[in-house]
Amino acid sequence: MTATPPARSIARGVLIGTGWLTAWRMTSRLLGFASLLVLTQILMPSDFGLVALASSLFAAIDAMSQIGVRDALVRLPDDTTEYYDAAFTFQFARGLLTGCGLALCGLMSTTWFGDPRLRDIFAILALVAIVAGCENVGVVRLARELDFRAQVLLQAAPRLAGFCLTMVAAAITRSYWALIAGLVASRLATTVLTYAVAPHRPRFGLVGWRYLIHFSFWTWAGSLCAMVWNRSDPFLLGPVLGDTLLGVYVIGAEIAILPLTELIEPVSGALFSGFAMAHRTGTQTKESALVVAGCLALFGIPFSIGISACSGYLVAGLLGPQWSAAQPVIAAMAWLCMFTPFSYVCGTVLQAQGHVRRNVVASGPGAVLKVSVLLLVRHTQDLRRIALASVAVTCIEAGLFIWQSLAAGNSGARQLAMTLLRATVAACVTSVALWPMPGTWEMSGLSRVPALAVGGVIGASAFPIFFLWQAALWHLCGRPSGAEEQLMIHLAKAARTVRLRLSRAGGGTR
């Protein structure tokens, strides 16, 4: 009989997993920046817009057939092989369905989108979807066992393969096909690696399909809402903005939401595995896991402020003056990361605890509201206004997730909300302090290296200002339990460890 892991062990696993995933995401982002620096000099904004439109529709069709069987396996009380076979059967069928949908889009691309180039792109993406349906579901055991090292390997190798092929293809073709080639290489490498890192060999079967369908229906509905939320922008904006403006918007948004992609998403991935293990073993770790998320969110907020303030320097240093239209997008969209910790963390908690219906109740209205708002503002063709509308809708969605999380009895969500409320006040004060600095929130005329140097100083300045105000507000509130308290404890431990090592080193030299 397997011993039940203690709450501290699970929480430690979640924290270590968060570190592994965050470190990888940062490494991956460095590769992305290197790729972006090269591609923006070779490709045109219209190339990025074309691929964004195709990949968004790809994600939409994929989400419509996504039933969440992997999440169901992570929460499965008993590690039953037959259930894995049923999950593989559903996954393979989903891949075929997605491939057929993409092939149909390719046949109708000229009529629907007025661009015959999409036909060949969709044909390739259809084959990619079918290959993805053959992935080994045995890798779910990595998440069940909190084996984040192997999960990082599963993400890193395909990312490197895609990066290398994209660079080579860009030098050869100097067209949007470089982006497609990288996507294909990454997906193929992922499928191959799933069989290399997991000993399980899937077969076709339907044992346990009722359990999978019961849990997965609301997961499927939640996936649809998430797809609409995350992927609707290019699909809705493309017909009005055109390829060039859409490409500018997509690249600007990608830079702006770095705190979301590099901090909050890895936290959510680690938290889901930890919550699922706690659910299976009966261990109560909700409070500690939310504190971990709150601690990392506190680092994401000044990151967001810094990106917004030095947006002009980022565009000048990373993209070049031909991308100056992306500056207001970055400056506005960076504030989106002020509210996403609420949505991501609370949504992950609800999902892992099996409250998948509550997840849909929160994400569904948010997705509908976002589509409605984008339809209203897209005709202005004002990228700043469109970005600010997305930020406003994100704030409303965050409130919906907090409401559902509190209704599900997660008292830790209230603690996290109060932490982030203090962080919001500290963020406003930090922004006011950065405003007088030269060049903040406007396009810079400096060349690449000076722009990156000055922008780096401005962005880094957000961290000490923010944390000083966060600490002051925490003390004024009576130093309540939460993320700030845990940060102080860990900082004190780290300081003692450093002093001890320095004293030992000094003693050794004598």
Structure tokens at 279: 């659910």
Domain extents in the chain = 10-485
Q: What is the DSSP letter of 2?
A: P
Distance CA 59, CA 360 (A): 18
What is the helix (H) or strand (E) element at residue 240, kind and residue range? helix 209-256
**Alpha carbon 61 to its chain's center:** 19
What sign does the CA torsion over 453, 338, 228, 326 have?
negative
Structure tokens at 382: 């004002």
Q: How far is CA 388 from CA 55, 135, 236, 418, in A?
A: 24, 39, 16, 24
| pTM of the shown model | 0.68
pLDDT at 24: 66
Q: How far is CA 43 from CA 14, 170, 243, 258, 319, in A?
A: 40, 8, 13, 22, 11
pLDDT at 386: 94
Q: What are the tens digits of pLDDT across the range 131-156? A: 888 888 877 777 666 666 777 777 77
pLDDT at 510: 45
The string of DSSP letters for 53-103 reads HHHHHHHHHHHHT---HHHHHHT-SS--HHHHHHHHHHHHHHHHHHHHHHH
Structure tokens at 439: 């060049």
Distance CA 11, CA 15 (A): 6
Q: What is the DSSP letter of 446?
A: S
pLDDT by 10s per residue, the chain, length 510: 444 454 455 555 666 666 666 666 667 667 766 777 777 777 777 777 777 777 777 776 766 656 666 666 766 666 666 777 887 888 888 888 888 888 888 777 666 666 677 888 888 888 888 888 888 887 777 766 666 677 777 777 788 888 888 888 888 888 888 888 888 888 888 888 888 877 778 778 777 666 666 666 667 777 778 777 877 788 788 888 887 888 889 889 988 887 777 777 776 766 666 666 666 565 554 555 566 667 777 888 898 899 999 999 999 988 888 889 999 999 999 988 878 877 887 787 777 777 778 888 888 899 999 999 999 999 999 999 999 999 999 989 988 888 887 787 766 667 777 888 898 899 999 999 999 998 899 998 888 889 999 999 999 999 999 999 999 999 999 888 878 887 887 777 777 877 887 777 765 544
Asked if 235 contacts 53 with a C-beta cutoff of 8 angstroms, the reply is yes
Q: How far is CA 29 from CA 151, 166, 255, 259, 325, in A?
A: 17, 15, 10, 11, 22
Distance CA 331, CA 256 (A): 7
Q: Which class for 173: exposed (0-12), middle (13-18), buried (19 or more C-beta within 10 A)?
A: middle
Distance CA 486, CA 50 (A): 46
Q: What are the tens digits of pLDDT across the range 59-105? A: 767 666 566 666 667 666 666 667 778 878 888 888 888 888 888 88
pLDDT at 476: 92
Distance CA 495, CA 60 (A): 48
